[in-house]
Chains A and B, each alone.
Chain A
Amino acid sequence: MRFAFKTSYVQDLGLFRDAVQRNCYMALFVALLVLPRLVPAFAGDVSLVFIYGLCGLSLMVLAGYTGLVSLGHAAFLGIGAYTHVYFLHDLGAPWIVSVAMAAAVAAAVGILVGLPALRMTGLYLSIATLAFALIIQEAFTRWERVTGGLKGKAVDKPVLFGVSFANEIAFYFLCLAFLIGGLWITGNLLRAPTGRAWVAIRDSEIAAQSMGVNLAIYKTMAFAYSAGLMGVAGALFAHKIGFLAPDIFSVLLSIQFLLMVVVGGLGSLHGAVLGAGFVALLPVLISEARDVVPVWAGTLAGVFGKTAGTAVLHGVDRFVKQPGLEPGIFGLILVLFILFEPLGLYGRWLKLKLYFSLFPLYKRATFRRQRAYMRSERLR
């Protein structure tokens, strides 16, 4: 085990725990810099991971840290994407300006949604955001002058300060820069009074209030900040998919975002990125598996004779090529995580780390917690 030896309060203010941790992240950063050169084929998939990472960050602030679960975050992504493209193509604004506008417009809409949300908690809030997302999707379809309606809208490759990011590898670096920026400002907020106030609201509104936290202001702020990040992610997403249509920003996408933060681990920035990696790469894995799994199954069953092998090959093949398999697998994974690992991938990672640092003294009971203290006598 390592113990951080602290001699000053400043050491607790850093984003990293100590030099070792900082160097690990530096190594990861260098690895990400060389990755597209080593395996250029993956650059496209990984840049989607980065964009989803921003989305995960956005929902993590709202759901993971402030405790306001939104089921309509794809709407903010859509608002960001359409605003960006409208300013960039229709009004001819510079790239960076239209990204800023995407963030600003999404944040403004976030405030509008956040205001009625002040009076709602838990499930009711989720349903309200779900309704909001459906309304926004309808607006994307009908407001043809700006969004192009059902015909959709093509998006050019990004050109930033005269430099084109048309190729996959350049776009990969652009997304990486935005993700790191997003992580940095969110990390900053979380170690400042604003972040503490958000966590306080999540854990006990009534205590937060009596410590001087203005619930209305901080909840609205969480909504605005979350929506703003989503707006930026939307701008990048628009370039990534190259073509905007209203049905992209569906409820299913919102649920994928929620899946991201739950699978990653609620209440950690690592979780947002890990969850994003999971959700963005799972479809890639599934499509790979579609080709490979029936052959394996056939070979395995081939031991019992040629007919059995062929039958199994066809059966498994028909099963894995069924449409709608993906949402099914997503749902199954979500349920399994909630049942067996509520702390998500990041929680699993922490346990793994502890296991090796304590080996052979690790006990499962370390992470077993007693049930939360009775809350039935709470005021609300």
Chain B
Amino acid sequence: MSLFAAQDLAINFGGIRALDGVSFEVEAGQVFTIIGPNGAGKTTIFNLVSRIYEPSQGRLMFRGEDITRVSPHEIARRGIARTFQNIELFEHATVLQNLLLGRHAHARSRFVEELLFLPRVRRFELEHREAAEKVIDFLDLQAYRDSLVVNLPYGVRKVVEMARALCTQPTLLLLDEPSSGLSVEETQEMAFWIEDIRNLLGVTVLMVEHDMSLVSAVSDRVLALNYGRRIAFGTAREVQDHPEVVKAYLGG
């Protein structure tokens, strides 16, 4: 059985049908990419998965469970983490504090214990710190550990946001345009990070991406959308050569 499946997913915004019965399945260990022109409904799928939007129809299945009606904060606990297209970091906090917040889904201390900072809380905090440090080592962020996010360049912020998502120890990682705003070198680096995340951490990746060099470098499966409908599906090569995809991007 597949790790994650969207079944006949649809959503309406007023009169606009942003997604129109899209189905796909992501196998464990894959890098699954969704491509499509602007307004195709890519990010909408992410917002449906992280439960920010209510789907008008369809179901979301994750690890054999229906997560269509699970509350938004519960999603992280189930093992799905995400990044955002426009970077939603906590800007006036340090990188380390951002990563520690990524551990929130694993927080076990109670309010009264925290008031007095009992030894149990101290122990949990050390565990969180160690988990965060592992991610810092993994993504080479040591130099930025104590910098405020506002002072970091855009490319580093992208990596920090990915690190924060990894701190939740996800099974499925959603990356919303990981290469947007990055230079060519940074995009190549991003491709290596994504491969490492898949190969070394065993995390399944679902991403939305425009940069075809990144898409063909890392993707196992590519789904092409246009106007909320599926137009092509297959390997990066197959999808790129698909006449519908060419038509969607170039017109004709």
Chain A residues proximal to chain B, CB less than 8 Å: 9-10, 12-13, 185, 188-189, 191-194, 196-197, 199-200, 203-204, 206-215, 221, 267, 369-370, 372-375, 377-379
In the bound complex, residues from chain B placing their C-beta under 8 Å from that of A374 are 86
Q: How far is the CB of A203 from chain B (nearest CB, A)?
A: 4
When the two chains form their complex, are residues B89 and A188 in contact, meaning their CB atoms are under 8 A apart?
no
When the two chains form their complex, are residues B104 and A378 in contact, meaning their CB atoms are under 8 A apart?
no
In the bound complex, residues from chain B placing their C-beta under 8 Å from that of A212 are 73-77, 104-105, 168
In the bound complex, residues from chain B placing their C-beta under 8 Å from that of A197 are 101, 104
B156 at the A interface (CB under 8 A): no
The CA-CA distance from A192 to B100 in the complex, in Å, is 10
When the two chains form their complex, are residues B93 and A185 in contact, meaning their CB atoms are under 8 A apart?
no
Name A204's contact: one of B88, B97, B114, B126 (CB within 8 Å): B88
Name A211's contact: one of B47, B104, B128, B151 (CB within 8 Å): B104
The CA-CA distance from A377 to B180 in the complex, in Å, is 14
B201 at the A interface (CB under 8 A): no
When the two chains form their complex, are residues B117 and A210 in contact, meaning their CB atoms are under 8 A apart?
no
| A–B complex contacts, Cβ < 8 Å, 25 sampled | A10-B126, A188-B114, A192-B109, A192-B121, A193-B109, A194-B114, A196-B101, A196-B104, A199-B90, A199-B101, A200-B101, A204-B88, A206-B52, A208-B101, A209-B50, A209-B72, A211-B81, A211-B101, A211-B105, A212-B73, A212-B76, A212-B168, A214-B71, A215-B73, A221-B111
Q: How far is the CB of A119 from chain B (nearest CB, A)?
A: 15
Q: How far is the CB of A9 from chain B (nearest CB, A)?
A: 5
The CA-CA distance from A374 to B150 in the complex, in Å, is 13
Interface centre among B81, B107, B129, B164 (most CB of A within 10 A): B107
Interface centre among A188, A210, A213 (most CB of B within 10 A): A210
B92 at the A interface (CB under 8 A): yes
Name B114's contact: one of A192, A203, A215, A267 (CB within 8 Å): A192
In the bound complex, residues from chain B placing their C-beta under 8 Å from that of A373 are 86-87
- Known A192-B121, A267-B92; contact A9-B104, beta-carbon cutoff 8 A: no
Interface centre among B71, B97, B114 (most CB of A within 10 A): B114
Bits for B98-141, please: 1 = Cβ < 8 Å to A, else 0: 00111111010101001111000110011011100100000000
The CA-CA distance from A191 to B130 in the complex, in Å, is 16
In the bound complex, residues from chain B placing their C-beta under 8 Å from that of A193 are 103-104, 107, 109, 114, 128
B91 at the A interface (CB under 8 A): yes
Number of interface residues of B (CB under 8 A): 48
Q: How far is the CB of B249 from chain A (nearest CB, A)?
A: 22
B144 at the A interface (CB under 8 A): no
In the bound complex, residues from chain B placing their C-beta under 8 Å from that of A378 are 86
In the bound complex, residues from chain B placing their C-beta under 8 Å from that of A210 are 50, 52, 72-73, 75-76, 81-82
Q: How far is the CB of B97 from chain A (nearest CB, A)?
A: 7
In the bound complex, residues from chain B placing their C-beta under 8 Å from that of A208 are 101
10 closest Cβ contacts across the A-B interface? A212-B105, A212-B76, A207-B88, A192-B114, A193-B107, A203-B90, A188-B117, A204-B88, A214-B73, A9-B129
Chain B residues proximal to chain A, CB less than 8 Å: 47, 50, 52, 71-77, 81-82, 84-93, 97, 100-105, 107, 109, 111, 114-117, 121-122, 125-126, 128-130, 133, 150-151, 164, 168
When the two chains form their complex, are residues B102 and A369 in contact, meaning their CB atoms are under 8 A apart?
no
Name B125's contact: one of A13, A189, A209, A379 (CB within 8 Å): A13
When the two chains form their complex, are residues B168 and A211 in contact, meaning their CB atoms are under 8 A apart?
yes
Q: How far is the CB of A311 from chain B (nearest CB, A)?
A: 52
Interface centre among B47, B72, B77 (most CB of A within 10 A): B72
The CA-CA distance from A185 to B116 in the complex, in Å, is 6
In the bound complex, residues from chain A placing their C-beta under 8 Å from that of B97 are 196, 199
In the bound complex, residues from chain A placing their C-beta under 8 Å from that of B88 are 204, 206-207
In the bound complex, residues from chain A placing their C-beta under 8 Å from that of B111 are 194, 221
- Known A9-B129, A12-B129, A193-B104; contact A200-B90, beta-carbon cutoff 8 A: yes
The CA-CA distance from A212 to B73 in the complex, in Å, is 4
- Give 8 new A-B contacts, CB below 8 A, not counting A193-B107, A197-B101, A378-B86: A192-B109, A192-B121, A193-B128, A199-B97, A200-B104, A212-B74, A213-B104, A373-B87
In the bound complex, residues from chain B placing their C-beta under 8 Å from that of A204 are 88-90
